[in-house]
A and B are shown apart, each in its own frame.
Chain A
């Protein structure tokens, strides 16, 4: 699976949009971009994933650049409960089980 690069940490004011970038310049055509987050002392939680189109769900939006070499996770209205480590993962989708390899992630701190 392709390697990802994320900033170590970011701050965001509560109520504002949190934009978390991820670089995956070596991504290949059959690799998806996944985002997970881990709130302190809990197991990682799935947020969203995409291949090349932008995606949105009840938690977040995922914007993938046209060349697919980078993406941005957007939390439209960050709350204190969104404080967590956010992991961007590139994963090969084969229709069978494929492993999730976590990097170091971005520690997002949402403040009042």
Chain B
């Protein structure tokens, strides 16, 4: 059963530390999305990639966040330095462009980040 895999599932870190979240998209998917979810803001799009190139990262705080795709099987989201306001659940989703159901974004289970 193909699925998007995110690691770690939970992360607690101290303020100022670097945090790296990883995402393995579904094999063959060439679009990757990163979302952040909090109670106050809901689901916010941070960035998305197609064929490993960033298409839009306007939702991402540039000073501390960075998103990359080192290869087609791995996407990373880094926060350096982390702050308590970064506490949220971070979701990765993958999909393919084109017609039909393959345009859909399939979401991972998320990484719950707590910055203390």
Contacts and interface: CB of A to CB of B under 8 A. Distances in A.
Interface of A: 38, 42-46, 49, 87, 93, 95-97, 99-105
Nearest to B108: A43
A103 B50 contact: no
A42 B105 contact: no
B3 to A, nearest CB: 10
A49 B93 CA distance: 17
B33 to A, nearest CB: 7
Going nearest first, the 10 A-B pairs with the smallest beta carbon separation are A43-B107, A102-B43, A97-B50, A46-B104, A97-B31, A96-B97, A44-B107, A97-B97, A43-B91, A99-B45
Contacts of A49: 103-104
A96 B110 CA distance: 25
A92 to B, nearest CB: 11
B65 to A, nearest CB: 17
